[in-house]
Amino acid sequence: MNQKVTHLNELIEITRDGQHFYQHALEVVKDVELQHLFRDMAQSKTHIIQALSVKVAANQEQPAQGGTATGKLREVYADIKARLGNADAVYIDQLDQTEERILAAFEDALSTAEPDVRALLAIELPKIRACHERIHKLNHGGAKRGD
C-alpha cells in the first residue's frame, strides 16, 4: 500500500471514529435536539468517509473499514464519565475533542498530501471545519442546540 492510500485510510479511520461516536451518543442522550444534531453530524461523517473511500478504491486498494483504538477509548471514557454527571454535557465535550482531532488530522494531511489528494481534502475540509465549529460552539456556549 502506497503512502497516499495509507494517509487516506488513516483519515477514514479517524473520521469513522467520529461517525461511530455520534451514532453511539445519539442513542444515549435524551435530548431530542441533540439526537437530531448527532444524527446530522454522523451523516456528514458518512459522506466524508465515502468520498475518501472512493479515492482509495481508485488506487486499487481497500478502504479502511474500522476506526482507531483512540476513538473507541474516548467513547468508553465518555460512557463512564456520563454515568457520574450530566451525560449530554459529557458527550458534547468529548465529541468536541473528537472533532478537534479530525480537523487536525485533515489539516496535517493537507499540508503534506500529493496534489490529487490535496484537491480532495480541500473539498472535504470545509465540511470538517463546519462540523467542528458547530459542536465547538455548542460545547462552549456560543450556540443553542439545533443551531
* pLDDT tens-digit map of 71-107: 999 999 999 999 998 899 999 999 999 999 999 999 9
Q: What is the structure's pLDDT at 2?
A: 85
Residue 144 lies in a domain: no
Percentage of residues of the chain with pLDDT beyond 90: 83
Residue 147 lies in a domain: no
Provide the domain limits for residue 102. Answer: 3-139
When divided into structural domains, the chain yields a total of 1
Q: What is the CATH number for 94?
A: 1.20.1260.10
Residue 54 lies in a domain: yes
User: Rounded mean pLDDT of the chain?
Assistant: 92
Is there a contact between 134 and 41 (Cβ–Cβ < 8 Å)? yes
Residue 113 lies in a domain: yes
Residue 18 lies in a domain: yes
Residue 83 lies in a domain: yes
Q: What is the structure's pLDDT at 4?
A: 84
Q: What value does the mean pLDDT take over residues 123-141?
A: 95
Residue 64 lies in a domain: yes
Q: What is the structure's pLDDT at 144?
A: 45
Q: What value does the mean pLDDT take over residues 40-46?
A: 97
Spatial separation of the C-alpha atoms in residues 112 and 21, rounded to whole Å:
27
| pTM value surpassing 0.85 | yes
Q: What is the largest CA-CA distance in the chain?
A: 47
Q: How far does CA 131 lie from the centroid of its chain?
A: 8
Q: What is the structure's pLDDT at 142?
A: 58
Confidence of residue 118 (pLDDT cuts 50, 70, 90): very high
Q: Which of 14, 34, 11, 13 is nearest to 24 (CA)?
A: 34
Cell numbers given for 141: 456556549
Residue 20 lies in a domain: yes
The answer on pLDDT for 147 being more than 60 is no
